[in-house]
Structure 1
Amino acid sequence: MAPIERLRHCLRPTLVRRVLLVQLMAVALTWLLLLVYLSSEFFDSHSMDRDLVAMGGTVAASVAAAGSEAEARVALDASAAMLHNAYRINEIPGVRLLQLADGQGRRLHTAPAGVGVALPGDSARLTTLLIDGHQYRVFQRGAGPWQVTVAQPLIAKSWAVRMVAGDLAFDMVIAFPLFLLPIWIGVARGMRPLRALSERIAARGADDLRPLGIDSRYAELKPLASAIDSLLAQLGHKVQRERAFVQDAAHELRTPMAVISAQAHALARADDPRQRADAEQRLDRAIGRASHLVQQLLELAQIDREQAPASAPFDLAQLVRQELAQLAPAAMARDIELSLEAPDSLAQALELHAFQSVLQNLLTNALRYVHSGGEVVVELARRDGALVLSVADNGPGIAPAERELVFERFYRGAGHDAAGTGLGLAIATQAAARLGGRLTLGPGLGGAGCTFTARFPA
């Protein structure tokens, strides 16, 4: 593997890296919050003043116990040395200044030695003093016959932030591997069932759409396995439908194609004009049947598409009137009464092509099977919160045993002379389902014939 490919392989996104990255971000956020909190605590003036008061009180107590000025100076120097060592160990910058004065405020001694600046103070409160360009916080208290003054430098914020950040960073560097390693091991082990599932799927053939049948004891894996099983079941059903569709289509096309071939040969060999005319008529009917079948197959394939175009509002009442007007000449030629029961206008947002497929196939089916002198009634209305389209006739009807079968593809009922492909009701059913509706079959006009009713969400 080339170095670049190896690098890409190592840097590819993984769930383990994602979990570890989230944990790392959580640690970094915790570190940042601690830094802000500890820095704010460090700069809290009340906290610093309390420390200064406590430190000054300790120095004053040690000086108050002295019996002479010399002992008081020794006590002050000892306190200064102790403070210096404590701050040096903690690497806190600056020099703490201590001053010893008598009861009248005359300076007697200053520690560390060599500091020639007097430290004025106020025993009633803490004050701030500028010494050699640096700000000091000053504490003053009486200590027996003496007066003790302690001056503590104000620490720069940048130094304090660096100090707190350094301490936290050291702690995090020590704690982070101990914190991250168990998480990494746990996540890696937790991903094993998922890897096993992926290997099981990868080992399958392209035609193997059986359910995985995984009974996982892990609650997180069950929804994934169930979703995959559901998808495989849907794909299996779709593949079976497509295979059956192709087989049925090939079977249905074979008959008109055989007729076309036979009549073409008969037409080529016919010498008698009447034989030629008869062959031409048979050939024309076979071509028309094949063309109609292909057209319906294309319509069914278009309705089976997954992606539907955006819905738009249409005046469905006007649309139904236009369809009836186109079919009126054929109905009048067979003395069939064609009527409509619908409001003047009925607007609905839906997929126009699917609705037209339902309407056209139901009307064509009714006109095909109704006898001459029969009646077909179309109704369009909103009822019980739904859009209802029904086509009723008083034709021969459908036997109870066949009422579920007529919605199947390529099924044609027995005992009918009318020619058809057996796809009309299947197309109407699929188109109704595409619109979120359902197609049902009931008794027709006067108890005879059929009524096909499509209900859609309003």
Structure 2
Amino acid sequence: MIAPSLRKRLTATVISIFLVSWLLSALLTTVAARLVLQSEVDKMLGSMLEVTAKVGRTFLQGELEQLQATFSQSMVVVNDQRGIEEGTRDNPVVVRLDEGLDLGTLGTPALNVWVGGIQLLIGQNTPIFPHPSQVDIGVALDQEMDGQMWRVTYLHDEGYQVWYATGLANTASQFDAGRLLLQLLMPLALIIPLTIVALYVGIHRNLKPLRALSQLIETRRARQSLEPIEEPAVPEEMIPVVDSLNHLLERLADTLENEKRFTANAAHELQTPLAAITTEVQLCQRLLTDDASAEMMQRIYARVQRASHSVRQLLTLARLDPQTPLGEETVLLHPVLEEVVSELGHRLSERGLQLQFEVDDGCSVMANRAALLILFRNLVSNALRYTPRGGQVAITAGERQVTVENDSLEVREPERLTDRFYRGDNAPQLAEEAGTGLGLSIVSRICELHGARLALAYCADTGRFSARVQFL
């Protein structure tokens, strides 16, 4: 399972942190804006009370009867059958003065005045505030009247023993708080898309060294290079990873070199005794006269030849060093494939096989010609070996692609045929002449060195096995 890319995770994390921080800032700004607005409302209500108290003192210069006479025309007793003179401090007569004070966008504040036994309600929609106590002086309180919350402030005039209360419905202050909040957050909301784009671009640019390192590793993989990666081109945080990778590449290079040396030495040491055995067997074949001994010697000769072929294949594998440049050139495929067919043509007549050869004359690839000869020789030899007698082998080549097909019995697990010495469970039934299990492994190695793709497949419907080499 492939984990999400570092760029996507880093971008998502940074943007998430930014958005959460923005939301928290918006929340704190909202709270701060409400507190500031509430403080300003409280100050305004306090100032209004002071002005009301100064005005009230002017009216309170005379007697209570004079005050009653002054307001008698505009005062209306609210839900009370008593006269104004019958009110007391603890049980005042509530009267309303219809004239109120308009504060524009904040609405009309409600004023209550307690003087003697009268509680004046100044304004048409002014509610009846509860009678204050000493602890309520100068304190703004939230009180619910008639299902609506009010912000109420009290003031006591000790000289005349008059209480003043002014209030403002919270809906008015909330409206202004929302508008203020919108004004504060609108600039922040407008820069969110710009900030997200800037974060994405910044992260993309700062991850450029990682992309360069990835491209460097990919280039080395394409060239099959085991050279260590230079640390000056590596970000500081990736140095431990690159050091570990360099140590791994060094150990891998040593392992491959030891394998190559061992294979070459072993194959070389086997060549001499095998050649001697072949000579002795051929000599014995000339001297033998009875059929039974000649048949036995022929079987020995076939097995020695097979061993010699395995040694040659091992030497070929040892020479195909992935770190050695191949010296590529433009190679025409038609002459190369013709040469391979001419070399192996006697096996067609020996086994009665039919060959279909369709190769474009101008088809060419960038490759090493000697390596291509080995590649196609192994592919065609493999097809000739495993095609039943009287079967058909087809060689086709087009634009950067060569396909070798042959009639065949069922091939199980074709993807494993490139493993060394793997011949399949039913290989003896497929071929009269046993192979070494190294041919397709050599083909796979040569394809890797050229950056080509090898595809092996068996089609049960047609009963044909195909090996396709796609050059890039």
TM over 0.5: no
TM-score between the two structures when normalised by the length of structure 2:
0.42
